Chain A
Amino acid sequence: MLHTRIEPGEIPVIHLEGEIDLDSVETFRWVISDAIRGASEAVVDFTGVTFIDSSGTGLLVRFCLDYKAQGVQLRLRNIPPVVDDVFSMLKVRALVGDDAFLDQ
């Protein structure tokens, strides 16, 4: 189960809480698309994420790269160890660039 909340603003913040897997990947896809509409930058806050797998990570990488190609920056912050572990396994920093990561 994935709970999401969008904090509106010039740079919207997407707060995530719960698990990101095949069951919730559509929610993940929808909330990012919705939050970033019309913005030139958005932040994804992973504070409450307790699980992520390759489905969620793959979608995130795709979003980061696709939006970057359109001149829109998606930045990631407050990555908990359980998520960072998977990002390390899949070399997410190398794929999306260090500049996508805030405060780490």
Chain B
Amino acid sequence: MNTRPEDTPATLQVMRYDARRGTLSVIVGDPADVPREILARRAVEAMRARSFICHTTDDDALLGADEICFIPRADRCEIVSIHTNGWHRHHGDHRRSLVEILNDLAAAVARGTLSFLDGEEIAALAAEGTELFACTIDGPASLRQARAAVAQVLEQHGVGQDTRRRMELCVSEATTNVLVHGGGGGTMRLRLVGDRLRAVVADSGPGLNFMNWTEEAGGVYQPSMGYGYKIILDNLARVYLHTGSEGTTLVLDRTI
């Protein structure tokens, strides 16, 4: 039986070209069939040009991605691509398009707000500093508990109301993602790392499926697709994300 393109989930792929080693590794997504030589060559071009390069393409040589972005850093180049697999918004749909979402993610990587990390890197970040609070996210009522914990900790550290509210909002969005996209449960931990409050929100769900951001999930319309991450990326100094078949971990840092 043939699979229709619209039945295939939209996917995100993140790769990293290490200029010192001359190697390309896959951080998020399926490592199979990655055209490493072509991607490495394009990454080197972006690093030489010291310029963010974005291709909108249906060129199979570039993974068949709908859009692929090369983001040069000092010693490496981040490569972010998205495959929409033919998904398009219907007329009048107010939801954000997958390419809009990708552009936001790529722009956040470019300005240094967002880093995609592998499992070991995110685990090291999640263990830094001192733990202040931990809770299980196992239902919508947990969201309030998570927000209240953030508010209490920030208030204890004399953080102003505006900053408190924005951090509460970001943690609420991250924990909502755990419930909606992360298999329905996970954990939220607050840590103090130097002068930063760090929220570590983790689930052991199936990993981010970008189609879930744009489609009705289980027949229940999820109206927030893509907006939660926009709020998180617009309001925090640093965000770290790892997602894979073993789950998703989001680390949110805000200076206090």
Q: A residues touching B (Cβ–Cβ < 8 Å)?
A: 1, 19, 21-23, 51, 53-55, 57-59, 61-62, 65, 69, 82, 85-86, 89-90, 95
Q: Contact partner of A22 among B94, B140, B169, B235, CB < 8 A?
A: B140
Known: A65-B92, A85-B165. A22 touches B227 (CB 8 A): no
Alpha-carbon distance A101/B15, docked complex (angstroms):
44
Alpha-carbon distance A85/B162, docked complex (angstroms):
10
Q: Contact partner of A89 among B141, B224, B231, CB < 8 A?
A: B231
A22 near B176: Cβ-Cβ < 8 Å = yes
Alpha-carbon distance A44/B110, docked complex (angstroms):
40
Q: Interface 1/0s, chain B 224-251, versus A by CB < 8 A?
A: 1101101100110000000000000000
A90 near B231: Cβ-Cβ < 8 Å = yes
Chain A residues within 8 Å of B107, by CB: none
Kindly report which residue of chain B lies nearest to residue A58, judged by CB atoms. B223
A58 near B180: Cβ-Cβ < 8 Å = no
Known: A58-B225, A62-B94, A85-B165. A53 touches B176 (CB 8 A): yes
Tell me how far the C-beta of B232 lies from the nearest C-beta in chain A, rounded to whole angstroms: 10
Tell me how far the C-beta of B51 lies from the nearest C-beta in chain A, rounded to whole angstroms: 28
Alpha-carbon distance A97/B176, docked complex (angstroms):
27
Interface residues on B, range: 20 to 34
Chain B residues within 8 Å of A55, by CB: 176, 222-224
A90 near B230: Cβ-Cβ < 8 Å = yes
28 A–B contact pairs at CB < 8 A?
Answer: A1-B144, A19-B144, A21-B143, A21-B176, A22-B140, A23-B143, A23-B144, A53-B169, A53-B176, A53-B224, A53-B228, A54-B176, A54-B227, A55-B176, A57-B227, A58-B222, A58-B223, A58-B227, A61-B94, A61-B223, A62-B221, A62-B223, A65-B94, A86-B169, A89-B231, A89-B234, A90-B230, A95-B94
Residue among B92, B176, B221, B234 having the largest count of chain A Cβ atoms under 10 Å? B176
Contacts A1-B144, A23-B141, A54-B224 supplied; 11 other A-B pairs, CB < 8 Å? A53-B231, A54-B228, A55-B224, A61-B94, A62-B94, A65-B92, A86-B169, A86-B231, A89-B234, A89-B235, A90-B227
